[in-house]
Every structure is written in C-alpha cells, then in structure tokens.
Copies of this chain bind each other. A is one copy, B any other.
Amino acid sequence: MDFTNLLAERTELMKANAIREILKVVAKPGIISLAGGIPSPESFPMDLFHELSRRVMEKYQSAAFQYDLTEGFIPLREQLSLLLAGRKIEAGPEDIHVTSGSQGALDAVGKLLISKGDKIAMESPTYLGAISAFNPYEPRYVSMETDDHGLIPESLEQTLKTHRIKLIYLVPTFQNPTGRTLPMERRIRIAELLKKYDALLVEDDPYSALRYDGEPVPAVKTMAPDHVIYVSTLSKIFAPGLRIGFYAAPEFLSRWLVLVKQGVDLHTSTFNQALAAQYLEGGYLENHLPKIIKLYRPRQQAMLNALETGMPREFTCSPSQGGMFLWVSGPENFDAMTLYEKAVEKGVAFVPGRFFYTDPSQGHETMRLNYTMADEATIETAVEKLGAAAREIIG
C-alpha cells in the first residue's frame, strides 16, 4: 500500500529535529559531546524517589493511578501556585494547568491559535522545540533581532507595526540556545508593547531557577499578566523523564487549552503529578535546587574560562548567568559547520548555531555549547580541542 498520498498537507512542514540527528551521530564512544540539551542525571534527586513514591502511594492510594482531570492533579496545581508565587507570578491553582512537558503546552497553544499562514514572531535564534510544536499548524515565522541581551524591543515594535502577529514566542531567561537573559528595562518595554499593540506573548521559562550568578529578573508575565501565557516545566529542577510541564494563561485561553489537551492525551500521568506534588510540598525542591546549582555553576565557569584561554581571539561568547548553554560566535563569514566536522574528528561535538534560525541564511558563524553533561576537566579538554580545530580553520 502506498501511503504517501494519505499524508495531510501539514506534514510538509514537519522535519526531523536536526539536533536529534546530530545527537545520533555523536553518541559514539570516545566523543565528548557539548551538543546535548539535557540535564545531567547527577542533577536528579535519586535518593528521594523511593520516599516520594512511598508517600504518594500512602496518601493518594489508587487515585494516583486513576484517570484524572485534564486540567491537572489538584495537589500539584496548589504547589505550582506557590512555586509561581516565589517567582512573583500571581496564579491560583485554578489558573495553572499541567501539561506533558512544556512541549505539551506549546503544542496546545499552536493548535488553539494557529491557522495556516498565521504569523508567529520569534527571536532569532530561537528554541527548536517550539518550532517543532508550531510547524504542524502551518504558521509563517517573523524573525526578530537579538543582541547579547536578547530580543531588541525596537525589533518587536517594528514587527508588531508591520505584521499581523498571532503570537510572540520568547525564552527571556537563560535562553536555549544562547544562554542570554533579557534585562529588566527590556522586559518593561516589551510588556508595554504587548499592551499597546494588544499582543499575546508565550513566555517559555524552563531555566530561570538555574541561576549561578546575579539577581533574578521577574518574568514578563508579572508585568502584563493578561497578555502572557507563561509556560514552565519541572524537567530541569526535578526530572525530565516524568514529563511535567505547566502553564498559567489568561482564563479565556485556559478554558480552550483544556479542550485541546483533552483530545491530545486526556491528561498527564497522575502518578508523576503526585510525585511532583510531594517533591514540592515536602520542601524537597528547596533542599535539592542548591545541589543542582552547585553541580552546574563550576561547569559553566570552567567553560567560560576555557573559552577565554582556549579559543582564538576572534571568537566571542554571549554573557550568561545561568541555564545550560553558552553561545559562541566566530568571526564574520566563519562557517561553524566546517568547525563541527573538524571538531568531531578531534572527538568533540556541539550544535552549529544555524539550526536555531528560521532564516537559513543566518547564524552560520555561531555555535551552541552545552555544559551540563560533562565535568569541569572534560569541558576544559573539549574546549581546548575546539580551539585547536578553530585555529586550523582561521589559520
């Protein structure tokens, strides 16, 4: 049977995630990978899962294994409300819905809002998972300009003036791929623009808890709550394999987003939501988060130092105070794909930055380096090799 002509029109935009393909190539033994985008297994609270499971079974019994509300497990939503209060976001349990990873939230937003041809404004470079969530709904993307401090507000205003934008998608804090963070004054300006142009922002915030330096910056959600769908996850501060994401959206959208999710997966795993509720309720996150930061901070520092000493002078790194990535740019016209090939020969992998741009002509000189999956010594070795490969190219 030939299935090709059975495919829906939307499949034209679906592609294998380029990074996943790269990850397959570099899963060979002997290669140091700075390509991944995942938390270190050392960051998981492995000593707690037994205790959390025991508590969940004792407290909720069969209810932890039964079908549950599409909106999410109520005890978890109560805890997430407190978590968000700590981030200065006012959202009651009823305003917070749980999704299957933050990917589940992005898919639901795309499905609810995007008709074919609708425009999504994206910072450039942007998070690839958002593209793979939105693509099946056949949007067009409008790229907005960024610098070392993230989205340039004037580029947002220009975009809102000249295009009819359905939604804006941003990762304002420790962005994937760049590690950059929007400073306070830009957030205030962006919140003003959302109100002025009556625009909707999807603020994706997976990393803000992973801060190694400097002071927290409040979410844009705190400044324009009615114009922001705030999306976050427990993947980076609990365990990604449990697939617990969540969002706080304006009520009108929340009610629709639940209908969307009902058709997609009915609800997110009750048991995993109950584990997460216990993790938060028992104060375990408070205890455990400093350990994660203690694990990652020296890795980030080791990479920053190694880049400083090991890379040719023409390479620069965006400043970053947290998250999982650093963003390195070579000189003008540098081709990071060539560097990638040379680096793999030397036993080091990373992700060339061009994959994070919706405009294929951009980002050829850039690269994303992950520092969560290797220890300090390994990072130093890797960056040294990267530097050697870079010198071979630029001479």
Contact = CB atoms under 8 A, between A and B. Distances in A.
Contacts of A135: 263
Copy number in this complex?
A: 2
A54 interface: yes
B50 A133 contact: no
Interface stretch (A61-69, A76-84, A337-345, A357-365): A61-69
B200 A260 contact: no
A373 to B, nearest CB: 11
A112 B16 contact: no
Interface stretch (A6-14, A155-163, A182-190, A323-331): A6-14
A206 interface: no
Contacts of A266: 101, 103, 129, 243
Contacts of A227: 1
A319 interface: no
Contacts of A263: 14, 103, 107, 132-133, 135-136
Contacts of A270: 241-242
Given A44-B62, A46-B62, A137-B8, A68 B241 contact: yes
Report, as a range, how many residues of chain A touch the other chain. 35 or more
Nearest to A50: B57
A371 interface: no
A239 interface: yes
A250 B1 contact: yes
A114 B111 CA distance: 14
A252 B3 contact: yes
Interface string A98-113: 0011011001000111
B256 A103 contact: no
Contact of A65 (B20, B198, B242): B242
A309 interface: no
A22 to B, nearest CB: 15
A115 interface: yes
A226 interface: yes
Nearest to A241: B270
Contacts of A166: 6
A44 B65 contact: yes
A85 interface: no
Contacts of A101: 265-266
A245 to B, nearest CB: 9
B8 A114 contact: yes
A41 B11 CA distance: 40
Contacts of A226: 1
B62 A41 contact: yes
A63 B39 CA distance: 12
Contacts of A198: 1-2
A393 interface: no
A118 interface: yes
A262 interface: yes
Interface centre among A7, A16, A61 (most CB of B within 10 A): A7
Contact of A256 (B11, B62, B133): B11
In order of increasing CB-CB distance, the 4 nearest A-B pairs are A241-B270, A41-B62, A65-B239, A132-B263
Given A53-B53, A243-B269, 19 more contacts: A1-B227, A6-B113, A6-B200, A8-B112, A11-B112, A14-B260, A15-B259, A38-B66, A42-B62, A44-B66, A46-B61, A46-B65, A49-B53, A49-B57, A67-B235, A100-B100, A100-B243, A103-B265, A136-B260
